[in-house]
């Protein structure tokens, strides 16, 4: 396929708005008489709210309302940003109220204040008197499953939110046949998205009595539905507006602040109320990445053929379901199409604990799974004295491989080329030789790790997207999309697809960045790296419809058939000769003003994408370990991706930079810590939560192996989340190469490295 605009380094549609400060985020909008809402949070990890006395708080001048669970409908709702399911058995777990009558973690919201300003609201919070019956609590999911553990939700007396078992082939038989059996246990920590813009929303009731919510959300249409469910209000009574967003990474693929913002406004007769979290609140009262403990057992033949894998992740879900067991289930569907195991059994358990709720986060369970899998594969290769790369290569799947559970078929598989490319970039063989016999204080090592990932959620999820193309008199178009730009660049790549299909210069596509559920075509939002693949299909369809309408007018004017013409650089041309027939503007003007046939050109499309495309990639890392201080430095790091056609290399590179940086934090420094005696968060701020700074981030190298996937509208596959999956295991394997020590728990902080070095007699 030859493209004009797809594949070009088009400048982001929102670049100027963002760098000049003109882009308006939720906090930048002001309404007259706007009030401020704040939440009173439980100091206990587990406690029944016996009574709440709001009298003194209500009496404080400037306080407009104080609300508790008693003031709100007793409706349990689910917060995950998934499409609604008509099948009740396939819905998310509805396990929470807007304000709780039982605190399930430190920070659980028990009351809220609406006041004239933040300071007054905060003062009022201190005047609310809550009587708690403090209960025993549990933070460790394995302990939470033991008999007699504190019961967090009555509906789940064993604290197990989800436990599933999927088997392909027969692992028992394969384990009998195995020459070697390897076991490993790997652990990841609780981390957070750390998007720059914290969750913030404001709500008011408009003149028609409808609730309007302006929110920093990835999923405006889903947020509308969930707010309706939480408040018991018909969904059409809710309108959600999504302005520019300062990052989400999955944390805004969840409905966190919107129902309470709406409830706050309703408590003050519909006056506008802003409910914005602080960073400290964001760490506890939004979502986190599930900490997992993964038990792996693998059967291998003496020739090094992977026979069978038994993987059992225990996922710490925290206090409320949010995305719950779906995260583990979804990740299970993604790793199966990497290595050609004869049989596999995947048995994840997702468990309630008295911690902040885990939910969706970039790559949705896969960073955990691949940290474990790629560490384990590395350990097996080393144990069997087989080159780890060769070991992987001889066990990779190939094109045509089909997952029997999802029926996903691998149509393009560029991973082998990715691996070769990565090896060259990092000078693998040369350096490996050089680092063989190191004795010094600073030791270097190389490591790599592979991953597989899907493009969207089909078939487990439902993938619908909407787009609208409206042509102006000059032939330029407005592109309206239901897909949400959250910084990932979807507005830009979708504009490129529209321009490509319509034969327009990129600048003639004006994308409407704001989503408004009253106006915007229906789309599920930004998640699952679905926008280019799924929403891209809708954009292509809408643009094709507009193009057909343009050519119909041209055909009527010229007597040529539609097939004989095309649009190139906003001109109607004859396909055969390439000669210009007229400008697109001529056609557009006719569509607006022809007295007989005027019908302005629009393309409206909804795409129900019932397919998927597996994407692949690899990280190669070189590290230097300080054998005295335990500090790990990244010397070089490369990501090589098979994501099909790269629509915009500039943005793709940006995704790699961000994803790798996030992966490095995951590998080396980030973890949300809790006091085991109280359940209180210890480091819910940016000083103590060690998010990597630019000074900690090495130059990130990248390459793309571009094989057009036949199911992508322009040959594309997913990329956004993919970039963060293989960083941690690659770094871990590099540290293993440098030190001879296998770190089976992340993050590998300097102190944990020191302790391991000591244990292994290296200090």
Residue for token pair 């790997």 = 186
Q: What is the CA radius of gyration of the chain?
A: 27
Q: Is 580 left (phi over 0), alpha (psi -120 to 50) or beta?
A: beta
Cα separation, 30 vs 511, in Å, equals 24
Region binding other proteins by CB under 8 A among candidate stretches 341-349, 527-535, 574-582, 678-686:
678-686
Region binding other proteins by CB under 8 A among candidate stretches 23-31, 329-337, 650-658, 684-692:
684-692
Does position 599 interact with other proteins (CB under 8 A)? The reply is no
Q: Among residues 629, 678, 698, 762, which is the contact residue for other proteins, using CB under 8 A?
A: 629
Least separation in angstroms between residue 697's CB and other proteins is 9
Does position 688 interact with other proteins (CB under 8 A)? The reply is yes
Region binding other proteins by CB under 8 A among candidate stretches 67-75, 194-202, 381-389, 627-635:
627-635
Cα separation, 596 vs 585, in Å, equals 18
Does position 687 interact with other proteins (CB under 8 A)? The reply is yes
- Give residues 734-753 in contact with other proteins (rule: CB under 8 A): 749-751
| Secondary structure of residue 393 in the 3-state scheme | helix
| Secondary structure of residue 293 in the 3-state scheme | strand
Nearer to other proteins, 296 or 753 (CB): 753
Nearer to other proteins, 597 or 693 (CB): 693
Residue 150 buriedness (CB in 10 A; 0-12 / 13-18 / 19+): middle
Q: Which two tokens stand for residue 267?
A: 């408590």
Count other Cβ atoms within 10 Å, centred on residue 257: 32
Least separation in angstroms between residue 661's CB and other proteins is 12
Contacts of 26 (CB under 8 A, 6+ apart): 197, 200, 201, 202, 214, 215, 216, 243, 276
Least separation in angstroms between residue 688's CB and other proteins is 7
Q: Which two tokens stand for residue 732?
A: 């871990």
Region binding other proteins by CB under 8 A among candidate stretches 234-242, 401-409, 520-528, 626-634:
626-634
Cα separation, 272 vs 639, in Å, equals 46
Binding map of other proteins across residues 3-42, x = CB under 8 A, - = no contact: ----------------------------------------
User: Under a CB-based contact definition with an 8 Å cutoff, are residues 177 and 307 in contact?
Assistant: yes
Q: Among residues 400, 576, 695, 761, which is the contact residue for other proteins, using CB under 8 A?
A: 695
User: Under a CB-based contact definition with an 8 Å cutoff, are residues 69 and 97 in contact?
Assistant: yes
Question: Any idea what the Cα angle at residue 560 is, between residues 557 and 562, rounded to 5°?
Answer: 95
Nearer to other proteins, 186 or 754 (CB): 754
Least separation in angstroms between residue 109's CB and other proteins is 18
Contacts of 395 (CB under 8 A, 6+ apart): 304, 305, 306, 339, 340, 341
Cα separation, 199 vs 276, in Å, equals 6
Give, to the nearest 10 degrees, the angle between helix 584-593 and helix 536-558: 80
Beta bridge partners of residue 183, listed in sequence order? 297
Q: Which two tokens stand for residue 530?
A: 């679905």
Least separation in angstroms between residue 410's CB and other proteins is 40
Q: Among residues 401, 442, 690, 745, which is the contact residue for other proteins, using CB under 8 A?
A: 690
Q: Among residues 600, 686, 710, 759, which is the contact residue for other proteins, using CB under 8 A?
A: 686
Q: Among residues 692, 706, 718, 727, which is the contact residue for other proteins, using CB under 8 A?
A: 692
- Please give the size of the binding site for other proteins, defined by CB under 8 A: 27
Least separation in angstroms between residue 690's CB and other proteins is 4
Does position 755 interact with other proteins (CB under 8 A)? The reply is yes
DSSP alpha helix (H) spans, 96-168? 118-127, 141-144
Region binding other proteins by CB under 8 A among candidate stretches 471-479, 485-493, 578-586, 667-675:
667-675
Does position 196 interact with other proteins (CB under 8 A)? The reply is no
Terminal-residue alpha carbon distance, the chain? 58
Nearer to other proteins, 452 or 684 (CB): 684
Cα separation, 461 vs 458, in Å, equals 5
Beta bridge partners of residue 186, listed in sequence order? 294
Q: Which two tokens stand for residue 613?
A: 């495309």
Least separation in angstroms between residue 242's CB and other proteins is 26
Binding map of other proteins across residues 108-127, x = CB under 8 A, - = no contact: ---------xxx--x-----
Does position 172 interact with other proteins (CB under 8 A)? The reply is no
Least separation in angstroms between residue 350's CB and other proteins is 27
Least separation in angstroms between residue 43's CB and other proteins is 13
- Give residues 242-301 in contact with other proteins (rule: CB under 8 A): none
Give the residues lining the site for other proteins (CB under 8 A): 117-119, 122, 628-630, 669, 673, 675, 682-683, 686-688, 690, 692-696, 749-751, 754-755, 763
């Amino acid at each position: 396929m030859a493209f004009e605009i797809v594949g070009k380094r088009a400048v982001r549609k929102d670049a100027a708005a963002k760098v000049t400060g003109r882009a308006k985020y939720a906090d930048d909008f002001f309404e007259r008489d706007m009030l401020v809402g704040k939440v009173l949070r439980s100091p206990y990890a587990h406690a029944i709210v016996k009574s709440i006395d709001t009298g003194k708080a209500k009496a404080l001048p400037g306080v407009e309302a104080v609300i508790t669970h008693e003031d709100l409908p007793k409706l349990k709702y689910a917060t995950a940003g998934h499409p609604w399911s008509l099948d009740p058995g396939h819905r998310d777990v509805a396990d929470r109220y807007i304000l709780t009558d039982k605190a399930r973690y430190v920070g659980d919201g028990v009351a809220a204040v609406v006041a004239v300003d933040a300071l007054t609201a905060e003062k009022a919070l201190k005047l609310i008197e809550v009587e708690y019956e403090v209960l025993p609590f549990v933070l460790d999911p394995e302990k939470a499953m033991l008999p007699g553990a504190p019961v967090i939700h009555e509906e789940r007396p064993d604290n197990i939110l989800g436990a599933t078992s999927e088997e392909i082939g027969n692992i028992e038989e394969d384990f009998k046949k195995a020459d070697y059996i390897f076991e490993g246990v790997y652990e990841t920590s609780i981390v957070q998205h750390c998007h720059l813009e914290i969750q913030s929303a404001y709500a008011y009731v408009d003149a028609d009595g409808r609730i309007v919510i302006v929110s920093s959300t990835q999923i405006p249409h889903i947020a509308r539905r969930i707010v309706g469910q939480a408040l018991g209000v018909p969904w059409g009574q809710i309108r959600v507006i999504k302005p520019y967003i300062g990052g989400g990474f999955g944390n805004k693929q969840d409905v966190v602040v919107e129902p309470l913002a709406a409830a706050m406004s309703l408590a003050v007769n519909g006056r506008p109320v802003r409910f914005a979290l602080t960073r400290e609140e964001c760490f506890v009262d939004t979502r986190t990445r599930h900490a997992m403990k993964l038990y792996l057992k693998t059967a291998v033949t003496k020739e090094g053929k992977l026979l069978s894998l038994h993987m059992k992740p225990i996922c710490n879900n925290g206090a409320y379901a949010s995305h719950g067991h779906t995260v583990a289930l979804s990740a299970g569907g993604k790793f199966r199409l990497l290595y050609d195991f004869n049989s596999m059994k995947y048995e994840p358990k997702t468990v309630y604990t008295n911690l902040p709720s885990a939910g969706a986060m970039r790559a949705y369970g896969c960073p955990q799974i691949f940290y474990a899998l790629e560490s384990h594969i590395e350990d097996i290769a080393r144990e069997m004295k087989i080159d780890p790369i060769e070991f992987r290569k001889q066990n990779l799947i190939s094109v045509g491989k089909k997952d029997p559970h999802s029926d996903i078929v691998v149509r393009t598989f560029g991973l082998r080329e990715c691996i070769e490319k990565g090896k060259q970039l990092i000078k693998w063989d040369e350096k490996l030789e050089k680092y063989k016999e190191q004795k010094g204080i600073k030791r270097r090592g190389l490591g790599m790790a592979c991953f597989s990932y899907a493009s969207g959620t089909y078939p487990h999820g439902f993938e619908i997207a909407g787009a609208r193309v409206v042509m102006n008199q000059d032939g330029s178009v407005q592109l309206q999309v239901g897909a949400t730009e959250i910084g990932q660049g979807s507005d830009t790549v979708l504009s490129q697809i529209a321009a490509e299909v319509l034969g327009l210069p990129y600048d003639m596509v004006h994308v409407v960045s704001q989503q408004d559920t009253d106006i915007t075509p229906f789309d599920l939002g930004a998640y699952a790296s679905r926008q280019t693949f799924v929403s891209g299909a809708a954009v292509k369809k809408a643009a094709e419809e507009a193009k057909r309408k343009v050519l119909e007018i041209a055909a009527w004017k010229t007597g040529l058939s539609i097939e004989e013409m095309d649009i190139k650089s906003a001109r109607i041309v004859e396909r055969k000769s390439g000669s210009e027939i007229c400008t697109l503007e001529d056609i557009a003007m006719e569509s607006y003003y022809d007295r007989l046939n005027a019908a302005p050109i629009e393309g409206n499309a909804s795409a129900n994408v019932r397919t998927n495309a597996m994407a692949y990639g690899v990280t190669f890392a070189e590290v230097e370990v300080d054998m005295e201080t335990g500090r790990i430095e990244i010397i070089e790091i490369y990501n090589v991706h098979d994501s099909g056609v790269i629509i915009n290399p500039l943005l793709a590179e940006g995704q790699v930079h961000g994803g790798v940086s996030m992966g490095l934090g995951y590998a080396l420094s980030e973890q949300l810590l809790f006091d085991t005696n109280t359940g209180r968060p210890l480091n819910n701020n940016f000083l103590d939560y060690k998010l990597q700074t630019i000074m900690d981030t090495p130059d990130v190298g990248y390459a793309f192996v571009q094989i057009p996937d036949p199911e992508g509208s322009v040959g594309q596959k997913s990329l956004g989340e993919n970039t963060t999956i293989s960083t941690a295991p690659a770094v871990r394997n590099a540290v293993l190469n440098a030190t001879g020590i296998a770190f089976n728990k992340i993050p590998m902080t300097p102190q944990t490295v020191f302790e391991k070095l000591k244990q292994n007699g290296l200090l």
